[in-house]
Structure 1
């Protein structure tokens, strides 16, 4: 499984995402991959999974099939996301 968060670091919601990532790591020992939607890789990733709202957290299977997606605020709970790591 792979869990990714797509967000813009220079945004009004960035602090909430950063706090979530920190708490997630502290509580689960796992990290969530971060992608900037304005980078070349991020733009391709967003097109592939039809991500148009930020922040978006997406859980992917080992073969890159989408398992779950949470769009916008409020962010999901840590327990909801930790199911996929």
Structure 2
């Protein structure tokens, strides 16, 4: 009989490090979800500002970053040609 070992890796939401939940240095529960950390310091940072680290992080592409800067520079007004 062959057994498969399922490798489970998770990402520390503070530093982005990949880690195994079984060997995580710390964990907490946020909105009913267990969150694991590589170090106690990452857990403290998360506990201080959970809204900064919780949720999905979607990386912005070059175009989105450009549009964000343009929107900030123009105050949300469309550019005028004349």
Q: TM over 0.5: same fold?
A: no
Q: Greater relative contact order: 1 or 2 (C-alpha under 8 angstroms, separation 6 or more)?
A: 1
* Pair member with larger Rg: 2
TM-score by length of 1: 0.27
Higher strand share: 1
TM-score by length of 2: 0.27
